[in-house]
Homo-oligomer: A and B are copies of this chain.
């Protein structure tokens, strides 16, 4: 029988009533003939309570004990859902990470899944089990200790199970009903996408972060797991939500799939820095060590052996970045004229696999922004994405203009 993976996050299992609703949805898929693997998070708030206790015990806690404590929330949800499914007449049982086993690395709190043997589930499904309820976010190390997977761990668990079991699909139930062309709070013309390619979903991470963790999308792309994002609070149906899938599964698509943005960005420019081999490493090495998440990097053409170096970063990391750069320049004895920060910028991006085969996307983008009188400060491009930094006050205007010019309100 075909297998299906369904994943429910913390708000979807926040209390017994919601877990009953989850059980109903699972029952619908069982009735269709699927062998179902359900991955659950902890009831919302529970993991935070546990994390809070651990943080109170010790600022430099042992990650192995952290994992042993915080993984307990998922175990509770898994057992309760199995009980309710049984009450509904569905043959179900719960599985904790070590019981499956979900074999992971020993990098506690950020463990990677190494292997999910399917033999135990295969045997139980053959005996008549209809639903395996899996505690998400956790696994077991070679040393036999409990591990957790870090942020977005339950999504990753779900995708990994779908890959291991060659599931027909991995349905991620969440509190939004799919992936949109842009944030509906910015423009009412935003439209839910029926399908989106893995590569686009990764580039739209800033939009998609609310629905899917980057890590789970990468894993799905590598193992060609068809991911569906849909709401656990609305009617389900075969067309509900957004399917994240391989390019070849998308018959025809718009050139641009969506418009993404990051509101609070900053731009730093190192003006007239001596341009010699190793200068980039001298700047960005120390920034990485200081924990600064540098995003876009632009270097102007050198003139008279000097150049301007611009990069973008989150606003709240500007002070840290400035300290790291000034110290590095002094240590390496690299001469520069000035270091200036602009903390009032936003990043706006258009994303779409259609760009590969369509020329002129950049020209249309820049034309639309120009027509609104929006000045572009920095540009970077990838094969399927064009991003610009602009003044923050124009961000909504830019998103609306780009959504219009690429006709995203129409399928």
Chain A positions within 8 Å of B, measured between CB atoms, are 16, 50, 53-54, 56-58, 61-62, 64-66, 68-69, 72-73, 75-76, 78-80, 82-84, 86-87, 93-94, 96, 98-99, 144-146
Q: Given A65-B93, A68-B96, A94-B68, do A57 and B84 touch, yes or no (CB 8 Å)? A: yes
The smallest beta-carbon distance between A92 and chain B, in angstroms, is 9
**Among the listed B54, B62, B75, which residue makes an inter-chain contact with A69, where contact means beta carbons less than 8 Å apart?**
B75
Complex: how many Å from CA A5 to CA B381?
64
Q: How many copies does the complex hold?
A: 2
Q: Is the CB of A72 within 8 A of B69?
A: no
The answer to whether A16 touches B96 (Cβ under 8 A) is no
Residues of B within 8 A of A83 (CB): 54, 57-58, 61-62, 65-66, 69
Closest 8 CB pairs of A and B: A69-B79, A57-B83, A68-B79, A72-B72, A58-B87, A65-B79, A65-B83, A65-B82
Give chain B nearest CB distance to A190 CB in angstroms: 39
Smallest beta-carbon distance A305→chain B, Å:
54
Interface of A is mostly: helix
Q: A68-B94, A87-B57 are in contact. Are A50 and B62 (CB under 8 A)?
A: no
Q: When A16-B56, A64-B93, A65-B94 are in contact, do A76 and B72 touch as well, CB less than 8 Å?
A: yes
User: A20 → chain B, closest Cβ, in Å?
Assistant: 8
A80 CA to B54 CA, complexed, in Å = 6
**Nearest residue, chain B, Cβ from A58:** B87
| Alpha-carbon gap, A272 to B69, bound state (A) | 63
Candidate in A56, A75, A79 with the most chain B CB atoms within 10 angstroms: A79
Contact yes or no, B65 A86, CB < 8 A: yes
Tell me, rounded to whole Å, the shortest Cβ–Cβ distance linking A283 to chain B: 38
Which B residues lie within 8 Å of A146 (CB)? 96
Give the docked Cα–Cα distance between A72 and B396 (Å).
Answer: 47
12 contacts between A and B (CB under 8 A): A16-B56, A16-B57, A50-B76, A54-B80, A58-B83, A62-B82, A65-B79, A65-B80, A65-B86, A66-B79, A69-B76, A72-B75
Q: Which residue of B lies closest to A68 (CB)?
A: B79
